[in-house]
Amino acid sequence: MKNYWSLRLSKLLFFIGFLCASVAFGQFSPDKTLPAKRIENESYLFPINPGMQNALTGTMGELRYTHLHTGIDIRTNNMSLPVRATQKGYVSRVIVGAYGYGHALFVKHPDGNESVYAHLDRFNKKLARHILNKQYESKSFDVNLELNPNQFPVERGDTIAFSGNTGGSAGPHLHFEIRDTSNEVLNPLDFRFSEINDVLAPVIQKIALRAMNGQSRIDYQFGRKEYVPIKNGHDYYLAQPISVAGKIGIEILAYDRVDFSRFRCGINNIEIRVDNQPVFTQKINKINFLFNRQIASIVDYEILKTRGIQFNKLYRDDGNQLSFYNESTGNGFIYMSDQPKQVEIRLTDNAGNTSRLHITLQPVQNIKNEIPLPGPLVSSHITNENILKLTVPCGQRAITFFEKGNSQQVAPTYAHAEKGVYLFNLRQSIPDSAQTCSGMIRFNLQDAIPSGIDYTYYSDWAIVHFSPESLYDTLYLEQHKKISNGRSIYTLGNTLNPLRKEITIQLKPTNEKITQQMSVYRNNGRYHEYLGGQWNNGSIQFKTKELGDFVLLADSVAPAIYRIHCTSQSARFRVSDNLSGVDSYRARINDEWLLMKYDYKTGILQSEKLDNSKPLQGNFELRVTDRSGNEKIYRQRIL
> Please, what are the averages of pLDDT over each run of 10 residues along the chain (639 residues)?
40 43 37 38 88 93 90 92 97 95 96 96 96 97 94 96 94 95 93 92 97 91 95 96 95 93 90 97 92 90 94 93 91 95 96 96 73 56 82 88 90 84 90 89 91 95 96 93 88 93 94 84 89 94 96 95 96 96 96 96 96 94 96 96
How confident is the model at residue 184, as a pLDDT? Answer: 93
CB half-sphere exposure, 451, CA atoms < 13 A: 18
Read out DSSP for 7-67?
HHHHHHHHHHHHHT-----B--PPPTTSPP---TTPPPPPSSSTTS---EEE-TT-B-SSS
Would you call 181 exposed, middle or buried from its count of C-beta atoms within 10 A (0-12, 13-18, 19+)? exposed
Q: What are phi and psi of 19, to 5 degrees?
A: -70, -35
Q: Check: CATH 2.60.220.30 for 447-554? A: yes
Read out DSSP for 428-465?
T---SEEEETTEEEE--EEEEE-SSS-EEEE-SSEEEE
* CA distances from residue 462 to 149, 195, 309, 449 in whole angstroms, order as listed: 52, 56, 33, 15
Rounded to whole angstroms, how far apart are CA atoms 533 and 542? 4
pTM of the model: 0.88
Rounded to whole angstroms, how far apart are CA atoms 253 and 276? 22
Rounded to whole angstroms, how far apart are CA atoms 415 and 367? 12
How confident is the model at residue 503, as a pLDDT? Answer: 97
Taking phi first (over 0 means left), then psi (-120 to 50 degrees means alpha), and beta for anything else, what does residue 404 get? left
Q: What is the CATH number of domain 560-638?
A: 2.60.40.760
Q: What is the pLDDT of residues 243-261, one digit of tens each?
A: 999 999 999 999 999 888 8
Rounded to whole angstroms, how far apart are CA atoms 451 and 453? 6
How confident is the model at residue 379, as a pLDDT? Answer: 60
Rounded to whole angstroms, how far apart are CA atoms 249 and 224? 9
Rounded to whole angstroms, how far apart are CA atoms 319 and 333? 15
**3 state DSSP class of 104:** strand
Rounded to whole angstroms, how far apart are CA atoms 251 and 406? 39
In this structure, the chain runs to a length of 639
**What is 5-191's CATH topology?**
Glucose Permease (Domain IIA) (2.70.70)
Residue extents of the structural domains in the chain: 5-191, 203-363, 380-443, 447-554, 560-638
* CA distances from residue 383 to 28, 477, 478, 481 in whole angstroms, order as listed: 58, 11, 11, 20
How confident is the model at residue 382, as a pLDDT? Answer: 74
Question: Which amino acid would we find at residue 92?
Answer: S
Q: Write a three-state SS string for 227-280.
A: ECCEEECCEEECCCCEEEECEEEEEEEEEECCCCCCCCECCCEEEEEECCEEEE
**Taking a C-beta distance cutoff of 8 angstroms, is the pair 505, 492 a contact?**
yes
**3 state DSSP class of 402:** strand
Rounded to whole angstroms, how far apart are CA atoms 421 and 418? 10
